[in-house]
Amino acid sequence: MWKYTKIDAEGIDPRSGHTAVLASDNRIIVYGGVRDDNSEALPQLVVLDTNDYKWIAPKIEETESRAHHMANLVNDYMIISFGKFSKSNSLSNEIQILDTRTYEWVDSISFEPTKSANSIFLTSNETSETVFPTYVMSDDLSSGSDKGSNSFFSKVPKYFQAVIFCLGGLIVITIIFLTYYNIRRKKKAKTRHLSVLPYTNCNEEAKEDIIREYAH
């Protein structure tokens, strides 16, 4: 649910093209931007304390302010990059770093080494060696994986397995077709022989004997 809070912003220029980051103590730190006439918005740096919703304007070393830039918060450092300088109206490829604890510009960032139980790689401060986590596999899982790795088809690519299955099916279908074709051909051959048997002048009993002989 939205809540409207009236905040006294006297002495702070309306602006656009600025950036804002949220600090760990709930301060909203706003830097840069321009006014409607594209002139520099002042103060360059303003901070809103969301605990009491009051603006403050910390005193910082004057630098040429910028607008339409980027800003990211890394630990307690606000890193400002690129954009356009407000006074000269020229593009910038520079990076500025603001320590949000002291509101001072710094040239580099230093971090305290930390350890986390959820970290994949843990670094020892004393030896500076990377310690890798140890994973223990149960006997059932390890034996199952060994069996799977030793099977023939587990080592054959899937597309090659598909080709083998298709060829096997084609061979089976070919064998069935040839067997059926040979049976049909033999039956037709017997019928053809029976149709030309020389029993025209034989009696019925002799004809039956000849037919039985050729049929077998």
Token digits of residue 11: 């002495």
Q: Scanning the structure block, which residue is given the tokens 């830097």? A: 31
CA 72, chain centre distance (Å): 24
How sure is the predictor about 67, in pLDDT bands with cuts at 50, 70 and 90?
Answer: very high
The per-residue pLDDT for range 165-194, each reduced to its tens digit, is: 888 888 999 999 999 888 888 777 666 555
Which are the contacts of 206, defined by CB distance < 8 A and separation ≥ 6?
199
Bond before 14 cis per omega within 30 degrees: no
- pLDDT of 128 reads 41
| pTM (two decimals) | 0.51
| Predicted pLDDT at 207 | 62
Express as a percent the part of the chain with pLDDT over 90: 45
Residue ranges per structural domain of the chain: 19-106, 151-215
Q: pLDDT (tens digit, 9 = 90+) per residue, 79-131?
A: 999 999 988 889 999 999 999 999 999 998 877 655 544 444 444 444 444 44
Of residues 42 and 109, more confidently modeled:
42
What CA dihedral angle connects 204, 210, 211 and 214, to 10 degrees?
Answer: 180
Q: Predicted confidence band at 1 (pLDDT cuts at 50, 70, 90)?
A: confident
pLDDT at 32 over 90: yes
